[in-house]
Amino acid sequence: LDLSTYFFMKERNKGPYELIALIMHNGTAQSGHYVAYTKIGDQWYLCNDGSITLVPEKTMGQIARDGFADSRK
């Protein structure tokens, strides 16, 4: 993940970086639900309230592309 175009002090902030966590909100500004995705080693996990589940690499690619995972597919 190359964020160098967004850095103010480019000489101090060298990339690229590896994405290891992602927080997503579903709902409105007044109400909704947060979930977190975290990468441990080569595996991604979904942390949703009291449960932690393995997320397939294909699903993480979909989230990166579309911003969400469609559970209907």
Does this model's pTM top 0.85? My answer is no
Whole-number Å distance between alpha carbons of 60 and 73: 14
Stretch 12-28: mean pLDDT, rounded?
79
- In this predicted structure, the answer to whether residue 1 has a pLDDT above a threshold of 70 is no
- DSSP category for residue 12: T
- Ranges 7-11, 14-18, 25-29, most confident: 25-29
What pLDDT is recorded for position 3?
Answer: 62
Specify the 3-state DSSP secondary structure of 7.
coil
pLDDT of residue 72: 42
Q: Percentage of the chain surpassing pLDDT 70?
A: 67
Percent residues over pLDDT 90 in the chain: 38
